[in-house]
Structure 1
Amino acid sequence: MAPNKTADVIGAGLAGLTAATALAQRGWSVRLHERESEIRAIGAGIYVWGNGLATLEALGLYDQAAVGAHVGQVLESRDHRDRVVEEIPINGPGQARVLTIMRDRLIDTLIGGAKEAGVEIRTGSEVVEAAPDGSLVLRSGETSRADAVLAADGVNSRIRRQYDVVAHRASMKQGATRLTVPRSADFVPAEDQGKYIEYFSGRRRVLYTPSSETSLYVALVADEDDRPASRIPVDTASWIRSFPHLEKLLSACAGVPGRWDTFQFHTLTRWSMGRLAFLGDSAHPQPPYLGQGGGCAMMSALGLADALSGSDAPVDQRLRDWEYAERPTVEHTQRWSYRLGQLNYVPDAARTPLLKGSGLLPALGASRMRAARTIPTGAGRFAGSAPAGS
Structure 2
Amino acid sequence: MNNLKVVVIGAGIGGLTAGIALSQAGYEVEVYDRVQELRPVGAGISLWSNGVKVLNRLGLGAEMAKIGGKMERMEYRTKTGELLNNITLSPLIHTVGQRPYPVARRDLQTMLLAAFPSEVKLGHKCIGVEEDGKGVTAIFENGHKAQGDLVVAADGIRSILRTHVLGQQIEPKYGGYTNWNGLVPADAALAPKDCWIIYVGDHKRVSMMPIAGDRFYFFFDVPLPKGTPANPETYKAELKEHFQGWAAPVQSLIELFDPNEVARPEIHDVGPIDRYVKGRVALLGDSAHATCPDMGQGGCQAMEDAWVLTQYLMTTNLGVEYALKRYEMERTERANAVVQKARKRAEQIHGKDPAITQEWYSQLAVEKPTDVTDAITKVIMAGPLR
- TM-score, scaled relative to structure 1: 0.86
Q: Structure 2 residue aligned with 1:290, among 290, 295, 301?
A: 295
Match of 2:384 in 1: 376
Equivalent residues in 2 for 1:1-390, closer than 5 Å: 2-91=1-90, 92-94=93-95, 97-115=99-117, 119-131=118-130, 133=132, 134-162=136-164, 163-164=166-167, 170-188=173-191, 192-225=192-225, 232-233=232-233, 234-235=235-236, 236-245=239-248, 246-265=250-269, 266-342=271-347, 343-345=349-351, 346=354, 350-356=359-365, 359=368, 362=371, 366-374=374-382, 376=384
Deviations 1:96-149 (A, max 9, x none): 73111121111111111112xxx4521122211124552211112122321110
Could you tell me whether the CA contact under 8 Å between 1:35 and 1:127 is conserved in 2?
yes
Deviations 1:28-80 (A, max 9, x none): 11110011123222211211111111111111112113214211111222223
Match of 1:382 in 2: none
Could you tell me whether the CA contact under 8 Å between 1:287 and 1:338 is conserved in 2?
yes
Q: For residue 249 of structure 1, give the secondary structure of its aligned residue in structure 2.
A: helix
Q: For residue 289 of structure 2, give the secondary structure of its aligned residue in structure 1.
A: coil
After superposition, the Cα gap between the structure-2 partners of 1:228 and 1:150, relative to the gap in structure 1 and judged at 3 Å, is: closer
Match of 1:388 in 2: none
- What CA distance in whole angstroms lies between the structure 2 residues aligned with 1:165 and 1:79? 44
After superposition, the Cα gap between the structure-2 partners of 1:216 and 1:368, relative to the gap in structure 1 and judged at 3 Å, is: closer
**Cα offset for 1:242?**
4.8
After superposition, the Cα gap between the structure-2 partners of 1:43 and 1:168, relative to the gap in structure 1 and judged at 3 Å, is: closer
Q: For residue 371 of structure 1, give the secondary structure of its aligned residue in structure 2.
A: helix
Q: For residue 94 of structure 1, give the secondary structure of its aligned residue in structure 2.
A: helix
**Cα offset for 1:232?**
2.6
- What CA distance in whole angstroms lies between the structure 2 residues aligned with 1:254 and 1:148? 43
Could you tell me whether the CA contact under 8 Å between 1:41 and 1:103 is conserved in 2?
yes
Could you tell me whether the CA contact under 8 Å between 1:50 and 1:372 is conserved in 2?
yes
**Cα offset for 1:18?**
0.7
Equivalent AA in structure 1 for residue 350 of structure 2: N
**Cα offset for 1:221?**
0.8
**Cα offset for 1:298?**
0.6
- What CA distance in whole angstroms lies between the structure 2 residues aligned with 1:141 and 1:227? 34
Q: For residue 42 of structure 2, give the secondary structure of its aligned residue in structure 1.
A: coil
After superposition, the Cα gap between the structure-2 partners of 1:5 and 1:226, relative to the gap in structure 1 and judged at 3 Å, is: closer
After superposition, the Cα gap between the structure-2 partners of 1:227 and 1:315, relative to the gap in structure 1 and judged at 3 Å, is: closer
**Cα offset for 1:365?**
5.6
Could you tell me whether the CA contact under 8 Å between 2:88 and 2:369 is conserved in 1?
no
Q: For residue 114 of structure 2, give the secondary structure of its aligned residue in structure 1.
A: helix
After superposition, the Cα gap between the structure-2 partners of 1:179 and 1:165, relative to the gap in structure 1 and judged at 3 Å, is: same
Could you tell me whether the CA contact under 8 Å between 1:148 and 1:276 is conserved in 2?
yes
- What CA distance in whole angstroms lies between the structure 2 residues aligned with 1:248 and 1:317? 55
Work out the number of aligned pairs and report it: 370
After superposition, the Cα gap between the structure-2 partners of 1:240 and 1:229, relative to the gap in structure 1 and judged at 3 Å, is: farther
**Cα offset for 1:175?**
2.3
Equivalent AA in structure 2 for residue 69 of structure 1: G
- What CA distance in whole angstroms lies between the structure 2 residues aligned with 1:132 and 1:75? 49
Higher helix share: 2
Q: Name the % identity.
A: 23
Equivalent AA in structure 2 for residue 182 of structure 1: P
**Cα offset for 1:214?**
2.1
Deviations 1:143-163 (A, max 9, x none): 232111011010011221344
Deviates more, 1:269-278 or 1:68-77: 68-77
Q: For residue 272 of structure 2, give the secondary structure of its aligned residue in structure 1.
A: strand
**Cα offset for 1:166?**
6.5
Could you tell me whether the CA contact under 8 Å between 2:334 and 2:383 is conserved in 1?
no
Deviations 1:198-253 (A, max 9, x none): 11120211111111242111111112329999653422422440524322122112
Could you tell me whether the CA contact under 8 Å between 2:51 and 2:303 is conserved in 1?
yes
Could you tell me whether the CA contact under 8 Å between 2:67 and 2:108 is conserved in 1?
no
> What root-mean-square deviation, in Å, do the aligned CA atoms of Structure 1 and Structure 2 show?
2.6
**Cα offset for 1:296?**
0.8
Q: Which runs of 5+ in 2 are unaligned?
A: none
Q: For residue 311 of structure 2, give the secondary structure of its aligned residue in structure 1.
A: helix
Deviates more, 1:77-86 or 1:289-298: 77-86
- What CA distance in whole angstroms lies between the structure 2 residues aligned with 1:68 and 1:171? 31
Equivalent AA in structure 1 for residue 167 of structure 2: D
